[in-house]
Amino acid sequence: MQKPPIRQGGSAARVAVIPGDGIGKEVTPEALKVLKAVSAATGRSMEFVEFDWGADKFLREGVSLPDGAVEMLRDQFDAILFGALGDPRVPSNQHAADILLGLRFKLDLYVNARPVELLHQRLTPLLGRTEKDIRLMVFRENTEGLYVGVGGFFKKGTADEIAVQEDVNSRKGVERIIRFAFEYAQSKGLKRVCMSDKSNAMTFAHDLWQRVFKLVRQEYSGIESRHLYIDTLAMEIVRDPSLFDVIVTCNLFGDIISDLGAQLAGGLGLAPSGNIHPGQTSLFEPVHGSAPNIAGKGIANPLGSVLASAMMLEFLGWNMEAVALNRAVKAAVHENFVTPDLGGTHKTVEVGDWLAKLVSNASMTRPPTQSK
Ligand code: ATP
């Protein structure tokens, strides 16, 4: 039987944990450590169930996403904490596509939320920019576009080969992500939403984005909305990131522009993301991949995974706990208690321990409106 929609601010939560491959197996335990510390500090209960899906299992048993996994996650869990997938022993990356794209598509996680927030001036490559300049949210459409795998080869392997990859955009899919961006801006008191496409060249698919955007924006007259072609957006976000509060775009452009944003705010090690379907089981992960070049060295930055956990807590309505995690990460950055990618000297585990201790000792007051 399918469980009811996620209750915001409920007293208990069930979380599926999928560490995956490479540094996913190193950063996820640290995020778990911090989550356990915050739930102990506030008395709210979190149950974690770990799954060993990833390259090892795929190579051993030929199984990527087990039969019934999607239904089990949907019906028995509130959220999924995900690490990373990718292993040089699986050059096709088949298991990663099966698991991550499988979960995104089959759980219909249509919102990919990627916040870009500068936590300390020293972390941005942009000269003279400070924390107040770089604070925006990218919403990437997460279930359609060029990622649906529609296409094929003709005369493969010959000099006359043709490869076709279709860009799939549905009216429903475009409308729900654009609407989500406006609703988010409204709920957070943000004043600016920018929709980005390439409708001057992609005259069918992105014409649909244009028409839907024009209709939806009319319902949000209090929000300043505008459109930029994706190439212009890429230039503008580097020239002056303070121009943006909320960006909404398609699957491919969102993938690229959010990595650009991550770099403006300190690099991949710090960037979190949420794969969300409001009210249903949703998945939270650091933006980075499995980073085989540093896996096993104990130096992976766990902050992206901890920030993704904070996004998960906010999704569950545990706002006080989410704030505690965000504050702890900010403190680690300010005190330079960080891994080498951010200029520190600490190991992954040391950073996790430091954050867990901070969160355990933090005084937290639950807002009176929240249920116990
Ligand atoms: P995948 O194919 O799984 O996406 P990748 O190596 O191509 O892996 P990422 O894992 O996203 O791509 O990372 C690119 C590089 O950024 C890594 O090689 C690593 O040097 C650095 N990096 C990414 N994440 C982290 C992290 N959490 N801590 C430190 N460095 C990181």
Looking up residue 40, the CATH number of its domain turns out to be 3.40.718.10
Q: Give CA–CA dist 290/205, Å, rounded.
A: 32
Q: What is the best residue among 294, 297, 301, 342 to mutate for testing ligand 1's pocket, by most ligand atoms within 8 Å of CB?
A: 294
Q: With a threshold of 0.75, does the pTM exceed it?
A: yes
* Structural domain includes residue 271: no
Same domain membership, residue 209 and residue 331 = no
- Closest residue to atom 31 of ligand 1, CA basis: 269
What pLDDT, on a 0 to 100 scale, did the predictor assign at position 44?
86
Same domain membership, residue 94 and residue 45 = yes
Same domain membership, residue 222 and residue 287 = no
Going from the Cα of 221 to the center of ligand 1, the distance in angstroms, rounded, reads: 41
CA 201 from centre of chain: 28
Given a cut of 70, the residues of the chain with pLDDT beneath it are 1-10, 363-372
Q: Find residue 141's DSSP bridge partners.
A: 111
What pLDDT, on a 0 to 100 scale, did the predictor assign at position 369?
45
What long-range pairs does 350-354 form, CB within 8 A, spacing at least 24?
Answer: 351/30, 351/301, 351/302, 351/303, 352/29, 352/30, 352/31, 352/33, 352/34, 352/302, 352/306, 353/33
Same domain membership, residue 222 and residue 88 = no
What pLDDT, on a 0 to 100 scale, did the predictor assign at position 371?
40
What pLDDT, on a 0 to 100 scale, did the predictor assign at position 249?
98
- Closest residue to atom 1 of ligand 1, CA basis: 289
With a 6 Å cutoff on the Cβ, whether 84 touches ligand 1 is: yes
What pLDDT, on a 0 to 100 scale, did the predictor assign at position 367?
52
- Cβ neighbours around 105 below 10 Å, total: 17
Burial of 44 (0-12, 13-18, 19+ CB in 10 A): buried
Domain boundary among 245, 265, 285: 265
Q: What would you measure as the largest C-alpha separation in the chain, in angstroms?
A: 69
Q: Give CA–CA dist 272/276, Å, rounded.
A: 13
Domain boundary among 205, 235, 265: 265
* Structural domain includes residue 1: no
- Measured distance between the N- and C-terminal CA atoms of the chain, rounded to whole angstroms: 26
Q: Give CA–CA dist 359/372, Å, rounded.
A: 19
Burial of 165 (0-12, 13-18, 19+ CB in 10 A): exposed
Q: Which atom of ligand 1 is closest in space to residue 304's alpha carbon?
A: 27
